[in-house]
Each structure stands twice: as structure tokens, then as C-alpha cells.
Amino acid sequence: MKYVVALVSGMASPLSGKNLQGEAPHLKQLLDQGYSGKLNAGTKISTRNEYISLLPVLGYDPDVSYKGEGSLLAALASVHLEKEDVAFCCDLVTLKHAQEGYFFPKFGPKVILEKFPLSSLSDEEGKELIREINEQVGTESIVFYPVKNICHLMVWVGGKTNIRSFPPGEAVGKSISSYLPKGDGANTLIRCMEVASQFLQQHFLNEERIAQERPPVNGIWLSEPGKALDLPTWEDLYGIRGEMIAEDDFIKGIGQLAGLSLVEYQGMENQNFIERCDAKAKAAIKSLGGHDFAFIHIPVDQNHQTGALQAIDQAFLGPVMEHLSKNSDWKFLFMEGSLVGEFPGQMTYAPVEKEISFLVSSPAGSKKSGIVLNEGHLLMPRFIKGGPWD
């Protein structure tokens, strides 16, 4: 049996309200011989990271797998955690002393968390600052990893877990004294934050920012500890080996944790959308030659909305379905939805509401629509194992 999963993100749902015969005949063929509906890829877990929706899409229950915001970030960033390691969110922030301004010798009740420098700090500047913080503050047991913009990761090897921390959004505009970590091991975290702040206050980047009348990036905020996500691999769950074809680093991070191999393919920024779809089709066909399963992510940005459905149908679905037709034993799962938002986005925590359209098709399948899966993580095992779809 060959299994193909295509996840299209960023395009208005092609499975609703469209005449697919003219625009997308291959997708219509799949629709005519398959089950279609909606799945809930959201969660009641309060998080600032919409990538948590990848867990139910890949068949994992967030209520079971999620171990904290830090551990989710570690998984997305492809940072391996050992059993005793603890991952923390490490955010770059702007701190200000009520009397001494942006340059102060130590933390105290007069130091406030002024703001997040999200819009004024480039991705590469943020990553470089974290690399330098790791050189200056990191140890064998405290390791900093660059992730994106102001949002990064700290891993405490064999660290403490009985720590109460506060998301930085709760402390904005307030004295940091009441919001610093508390509990067993808190002093280690506070010391890291203080030493990092002293280093950043003297950094040439902040000298430039002050000269340009921009607030400095003079602090880090450690919060939201978590141990490794609990994700059994697909081989353990279903007895199949598979590969993932994607360019989004966070999607690849979750895929690796699920035991999927990553595929390098010829589909880069300089190619147009049709060429990218063609490249992913070729990569998927090659992957199916040696594996049971291929997962392909196809993002559609604002510049490619016009004609995107036809391009996906002709350049991707057409070649892949032609390849599958040579094998009478196959299943195809097509999913579409605005899976993730901008990361990092608003630095606030809230449950995630996310709905994904899906279509499960096979050569001998029959048409059934209107299926609703409120527990979205059930879709993948039903796709692999064959229902139930009642």
C-alpha cells in the first residue's frame, strides 16, 4: 500500500463551492471517489504558537503530546531533547530602569519590561544575538539555540522542572520583580537573564539602535519550561516508513520527531509556483519508490493565489496520480486550510481555533461528503487503517 498526504496551506478551500471539473479535474476525480469533510485542528491549550495545529494534522492528540511551550518550540526547531532535559522559551526583550534608563547594573523592582522589539529587529539580527549569548552565557548544561526573530530557545540539560514562570506578555509595562521565575532552580534562570542583560547592554547593535533612537534589545526572558514532546513514530504506530517534502523548518521539525525522513528537492525561491509544484511531484514520486508514505506540504502565498488550484492540479496531482495508477493499492489524503499564522505573531496566549478541509480517496472508494471530525487527530489513523467514516 502506498500512502500520499498533501497539505495545501494558504489557499481558499478548493473542496467547497467550486466547479472542479474545469479547474482541477484530478482533484475532482479524487473527490468523486472519496470521503470529504472538515477536521478540527485546534486545541483548548493556551498557546502563542499556531504550529501546535500540526500535531492533530499528523495524528497526535495535543492534550496528550503537548508538554509545554518550550518543548513545542524545541520540536519545531529540530532540537533534540533527552529525557531529563528541559526546554525554555527565550525571548529577546527591551528592559528599562525607571531612573537609569536602558543601562543598569542589576535587576530590581525599578526595572520594567518595556516592550518586544518584534518589528524593529531582523530575523538574522535576532539569531546572531542568541548565538553570541550562547558563547558568553551558555555552559555545558545551559545551551541557547536561535529560532526566529525575537523567539528563541534555551535548553537546560538535566534541568529543574518545578519552576513557575510567567509569559513575557504578562510583564509588559510592569516591574519584572513579580514576574521572574520562582521555585527550585529559579535562581539559575534569573542569573542567566541578568548576565545576558549585562552582555546585551554593551553590544554594538544596541549602540547603533540607541544612536538611531530605537529602543535597545537588552534582555532575554526565560519562561514556559517543558520536556520533550511525547510523539511515537509512524513506524511504531502504523508500521510504515515515510518521508516529508517541505521547506517550512517548523513543519520539518515536527516531521522529524514523528520519524519521517526529510527529502531534499529542487524547488527553491527562484522558481515560480508551477515549477515548485512540479518539483514536489517529482520528489514525491521518487520517495514512493522506496517508502510506503510521502507527506508533501504546498504553501500558497499571496503572490500565487491566481491560478494556484490549476497549478497544483496539473503540476502536482496529475503526475502523482499517474504514478499511483500503476499501483492498484494506494490511498490519497488531501488537506487544505490556513494551518499556521505568522511566527512569531502576537505575544499573547490563547486557545487555537483551526479548521481544515480534508479528502480521503482510493481507487475503489465511494463518494461521501459532510464528514465532521471534532477530534482532528483521529483523521490520520483512520486514513491509514481505513475508517470508520460514520
Pull the grid cell for residue 266. 529542487
> What are the pLDDT tens digits along the chain (390 aa)?
899 999 998 876 666 546 676 778 899 889 888 999 999 988 888 777 777 888 999 999 988 888 888 888 898 888 999 999 999 999 999 999 999 999 999 999 999 999 887 667 888 999 999 999 999 999 999 999 999 888 999 999 999 988 999 988 889 999 999 999 999 999 999 999 999 999 999 999 988 888 888 889 999 999 999 998 878 999 999 999 999 998 888 888 888 888 999 887 665 667 888 999 999 999 999 999 989 999 999 988 767 667 788 999 999 999 999 999 887 789 999 999 876 656 555 556 778 888 888 999 988 778 888 899 999 999 999 999 887 776
Residue with cell 517548523: 250
Pull the grid cell for residue 17. 463551492
pTM for the predicted model, two decimal places: 0.84
Q: CA 82 to CA 103: how far, in whole Å?
A: 37
Q: CA 71 to CA 172: how far, in whole Å?
A: 24
Domain boundaries, the chain: 2-65+232-385, 86-226
- Sign of the C-alpha dihedral, residues 6, 11, 13, 19? negative
Q: CA 236 to CA 80: how far, in whole Å?
A: 19
Tell me 260's DSSP state. P
CATH 3.40.720.10 fits 2-65+232-385, yes or no: yes
Query: Exposure of 143 by Cβ count < 10 A (0-12 exposed, 13-18 middle, 19+ buried)?
Result: middle
Q: Which amino acid is at 177?
A: S
The 3-state DSSP class for residue 94 equals: strand
Q: Which amino acid is at 13?
A: S
User: If we measure between CA atoms, which residue out of 63, 56, 69 comes closest to residue 227?
Assistant: 69
Pull the grid cell for residue 153. 530557545
The 3-state DSSP class for residue 43 equals: strand
